[in-house]
Chains A and B, each alone.
Chain A
Amino acid sequence: MIEVKEVRKSFREGFLLERKEVLHGISFNVKSGAVVGLLGPNGAGKTTTIKIIMGISPPDEGEVLVFGKKLSKETKKAIGFLPEAPYFYDYLTGREILRSFSDFYQNLNEEKINEVLKLVGLKEEADRMLRSYSKGMLQRIGLAQALLHDPELLIFDEPMSGLDPIGRKEFRDVITSLKEKGKTILFSSHILQDVEMICDEVIMIYRGKVIKIGVLNEMLKNEVTYYEVTVEGTGGADNFSPLKKSGGRFLYRVKEGELDGLIRSVMENGGRIRSVIPRSLTLEEIFIREVKKV
């Protein structure tokens, strides 16, 4: 659905207008129907990549295909876009901005506008001027204008920023329901838990390079697991140092191969195993490890 091929981008900067490359050949694909997270720390190049996909900023090299074609007005009609920290017009109301934007597309009526307003939870505030909107409300109206025309492809840049926990939950629900309708979604974030909860695939970028691409489930499954073992009773285990000790309880963290040894040792010391919990690396840990590799 989206093909990004060897995209490079540089900006002119400073007094001498020196070129500074911020994207060093980014390539990835987004498959139809997938929910893909674009992950990366501040300044990694997420927004720049997204702007290039949306045709707002031209790449220096490489190309982007959306729906197998170069971006045009026609293809743009099938994309819904929510920019980073969206901002619209101060003296228009939420409803007016949606009405104006709906003129870009065919067959959008007031009913559809009301439906979208309700979906993003702005029904009450729809007739207030946007200058009185809070950051989270602007984020919501931004989401509304992206969903207005029921596009096939959705691109969101930092959609969760500015939203409160309830708002984030609502947003995740919106994404889930869009996914059920078979929409393709690409969104950037640095809130890893959110990505972990809703994405099928992740693309990690760091300093203008893709450092890892993968299906999230496999990525998490293939990562070395460890076990957390809670032990009660006498002394604990020999040869193992507990992570935590409180009252008569010990918490051990061991690798898979060490588990049998630990259990045996506890038994020999007359202790009781209270729980054995397998843990895999979180996305956050994978992310930090990948970044350190670079």
Chain B
Amino acid sequence: MKGIKIIASVTFREGIRDRIYLIFFFFAIILLLFSLFLSMLVIGDPTKVIADFGMGVMSLLGILIVIFVGGPSFSKELQKRTVISVLSKPISREEFLVGKLFGIWSNVFVNLLAMAVLLFLLILAKGVMIWGIFVQAFLLFLEMGILTAVDLMFSSFTTSFLAMLFTLSFYVVVHLTTTIEKASQSLSSPISKAVVRYIAYLLPNFDYFNLKNQVVYGLNVPPLFYCKSFVYFLALIIFFTILAVWVFKKKEI
């Protein structure tokens, strides 16, 4: 446990001081400010436009940080052999990997929180309070935890670049699950319909972490949805972390 804490803390500090992290952060702020400008051009309720666009920016920032700061911080430890110094300490490989996961995840947390606060304040300036932004930020946070575990798994057996590519593909695919499912309904052959539906069924579905529309339009979300999301999150993060540990333990360092 001590080992996890140490690695998480080192990873967190290392991430937060990384220039790329800062660049992404400023980039996100500029995008948020741009949403103000956008809201003036587009027809419709300006606060809804800002909220919608702003939550999109939060997702983007989350994925950017996981892929360009988190994953590489792990690959770099393997490549520059920091891992050799660290593993000579009283720590197991499992603890090291879980420590990295928590460290990267805390980076994402700080960022999402800052974004959410900023977005909330921007909308508040227009006289509207949308608390749902924090709910969506939290769901994004859960999503990014899973994505980090997936990235660590890929980074354990392939190069930094390929790990980025695979993680990004994973992200795109799991966001298309619902679309794939819907598409299957328009297929004519019953066999291909069944196959595609089955594939969609097997793929993780990240719509469990997406409440953007509900937040923007102020719709009610049944409490059961949150329960499902959370259970879904737990199952996926445990699954991918175990997979990542398994791959990492086989790795020749």
Interface, chain A (partner B; CB < 8 A)? 11-12, 51, 54-57, 73-74, 76-77, 79, 81, 83, 85-92, 96-97, 100-101, 103-105, 129, 142, 145
**Residue of B with least CB distance to A11:** B252
* Contact status B13-A87, CB under 8 Å: no
Complex A-B: 12 CB contacts under 8 Å: A56-B253, A57-B252, A76-B90, A87-B82, A89-B10, A90-B14, A92-B10, A92-B14, A100-B10, A103-B2, A103-B6, A145-B85
Q: Mark B45-81, 1 if CB is under 8 A from A, else 0.
A: 0000000000000000000000000000000000011
* Contact status B6-A100, CB under 8 Å: yes
From B6, B13, B85, B252, give the contact of A83 (CB < 8 A): B85
Chain A nearest CB, measured from B51 CB (Å): 34
6 shortest interchain CB distances as A-B pairs? A91-B17, A81-B88, A73-B90, A87-B80, A76-B90, A83-B84
Instruction: Say yes or no: is B89 at the interface (Cβ < 8 Å to chain A).
Output: yes
Within 8 A of A (CB), among B80-130: 80-82, 84-85, 87-92
Which residues on A sit within 8 Å (CB–CB) of B18?
A: 91
Contacts A56-B253, A100-B9, A104-B2 given: A87-B89 contact, CB under 8 Å?
A: no
* Contact status A89-B82, CB under 8 Å: yes
* Contact status A83-B89, CB under 8 Å: no
Number of residues of chain B lying within 8 A (CB) of chain A: 23
From A11, A74, A85, A145, give the contact of B90 (CB < 8 A): A74
* Contact status B13-A96, CB under 8 Å: yes
Instruction: Say yes or no: is B3 at the interface (Cβ < 8 Å to chain A).
Output: yes
Considering the chains assembled together, what is the distance between the CA atoms of A11 and B251 in angstroms?
A: 11
Within 8 A of A (CB), among B1-60: 2-3, 5-6, 9-10, 13-14, 17-18
Considering the chains assembled together, what is the distance between the CA atoms of A87 and B13 in angstroms?
A: 17
Contacts A57-B252, A100-B9, A104-B2 given: A87-B85 contact, CB under 8 Å?
A: yes
* Contact status A54-B88, CB under 8 Å: yes
Considering the chains assembled together, what is the distance between the CA atoms of A54 and B86 in angstroms?
A: 11
Considering the chains assembled together, what is the distance between the CA atoms of A37 and B85 in angstroms?
A: 20
Contacts A57-B253, A76-B89 given: A83-B9 contact, CB under 8 Å?
A: no
* Contact status B253-A51, CB under 8 Å: yes
Known: A104-B89, A104-B90. 6 other contacts (CB 8 A): A51-B84, A87-B85, A89-B10, A90-B14, A103-B2, A145-B85
Considering the chains assembled together, what is the distance between the CA atoms of A57 and B253 in angstroms?
A: 7
Considering the chains assembled together, what is the distance between the CA atoms of A104 and B81 in angstroms?
A: 19
Which residues on A sit within 8 Å (CB–CB) of B92?
A: 73
**Residue of B with least CB distance to A54:** B88
Contacts A57-B252, A100-B10 given: A76-B81 contact, CB under 8 Å?
A: no
Considering the chains assembled together, what is the distance between the CA atoms of A104 and B91 in angstroms?
A: 8
Which residues on B sit within 8 Å (CB–CB) of A105?
A: 90
Which residues on A sit within 8 Å (CB–CB) of B9?
A: 100
Which residues on A sit within 8 Å (CB–CB) of B88?
A: 54, 56, 76, 79, 81, 83
Residue in B82, B88, B90 whose Cβ sees the most chain A Cβ within 10 Å: B88
Which residues on A sit within 8 Å (CB–CB) of B81?
A: 83, 85, 87
Chain B nearest CB, measured from A278 CB (Å): 44
Which residues on B sit within 8 Å (CB–CB) of A81?
A: 85, 88
Residue in B9, B87, B90 whose Cβ sees the most chain A Cβ within 10 Å: B90
Which residues on A sit within 8 Å (CB–CB) of B2?
A: 103-104
Chain B nearest CB, measured from A4 CB (Å): 17
**Residue of B with least CB distance to A73:** B90
Which residues on B sit within 8 Å (CB–CB) of A12?
A: 252
Which residues on A sit within 8 Å (CB–CB) of B252?
A: 11-12, 57
Considering the chains assembled together, what is the distance between the CA atoms of A145 and B9 in angstroms?
A: 17
Chain A nearest CB, measured from B2 CB (Å): 7
Residue in B10, B89, B253 whose Cβ sees the most chain A Cβ within 10 Å: B89
Chain A nearest CB, measured from B82 CB (Å): 5
Considering the chains assembled together, what is the distance between the CA atoms of A103 and B3 in angstroms?
A: 8
Which residues on B sit within 8 Å (CB–CB) of A97?
A: 10
Considering the chains assembled together, what is the distance between the CA atoms of A76 and B13 in angstroms?
A: 26
Considering the chains assembled together, what is the distance between the CA atoms of A97 and B13 in angstroms?
A: 11
Chain A nearest CB, measured from B97 CB (Å): 15
Which residues on B sit within 8 Å (CB–CB) of A92?
A: 10, 13-14
Which residues on A sit within 8 Å (CB–CB) of B89?
A: 76, 101, 104
Considering the chains assembled together, what is the distance between the CA atoms of A88 and B80 in angstroms?
A: 8
